[in-house]
Amino acid sequence: MPFQPVVDGHLLPQPPFDAVRAGLSSNVRVLVGTNRDEMTLFGLGEVDDNGLRRIAARIFTDADAALAAYRSEWPGASSIELFSAIMTDQFFFIPAVRLAETQAANGGAAYQYLFTWESHAFGGRLKATHALEIPFVFNNLGRAGVDIFLGPGALPQALADAMHAAWIAFIGTGDPSCDAVGDWPAYCLDHRAVMEFGNQVGLR
């Protein structure tokens, strides 16, 4: 990424994951998650099957196996859609999972979510894109300009109510469980609980 934190030995003395592995955040409760289609916001350009194969070869030890897994998970997806899914995982989803894993392994509490509600804007091309969850978390779907991001149609107010309630519960108690979402267990390696916020709200 062109802009990201830099370990300078002063303000940031070590890589954040090293600090988490060392247990420096074990007493800090973490709420972490991603949107399912983060990369659709960033305009990845065009890529064909050959280009996708070259990209996969730079990322995965076994590119063929990896692409087969993605095609199984995303049946009927185009090359650019698969590219977007891979980049979403590389830059957003996998780091979020690693943070939850590392926090849990060091005795800390982490709660993970996945936002899957799809925007209706721009013919639905954005899907569950980067930053789309923000007006839901803050429960301000009616704020000026938000409609451009959400697109036409009825406001998914029930989803905003549920997300907002969970975040408020987490801020107040350190646990996002609440009436709106039900019991939301902490993430652990034996039970990788992920709360989905989409057309339905519940554990995956």
Tens of pLDDT along 137-163?
999 999 999 999 999 999 999 999 999
Domain membership flag for residue 148: yes
Residue 24 included in any domain: yes
Q: What range does the domain containing 116 cover?
A: 16-41+92-203
69 lies in some domain: no
In the chain, how many domains are there?
Answer: 1
Q: Which helix (H) or strand (E) holds 173?
A: helix 157-173
Q: Within a domain: residue 118? A: yes
pLDDT tens-place string over residues 22-70: 988 899 999 999 999 999 998 777 889 999 999 999 999 999 999 999 9
Q: Kindly report, residue by residue over 162-204, the tens digit of the pLDDT.
A: 999 999 999 999 999 999 999 999 999 998 999 999 999 999 9
Q: Is the dihedral of CA 91, 92, 95, 98 positive or negative?
A: negative
Q: Is residue 164 part of a domain?
A: yes
Cα 125 to Cα 1: distance, rounded to the nearest angstrom: 23
Question: Looking at the domain assignment, is residue 58 inside a domain?
Answer: no
Please report the pLDDT score of residue 45 as a whole number: 76
Q: Determine contact, residues 22/105, Cβ cutoff 8 Å.
A: no
Strand order across the 30-35 sheet? 30-35, 110-115, 194-197, 201-203
* Pick from 34, 26, 46: nearest CA to 103: 26
Structure confidence by residue, pLDDT tens digits, 64-83: 999 999 999 999 999 999 99
Secondary structure E strands in 78-200:
110-115, 194-197
Domain assignment present for 81: no
Does residue 76 fall inside a structural domain? no
Distance separating the N- and C-terminal Cα atoms of the chain: 30
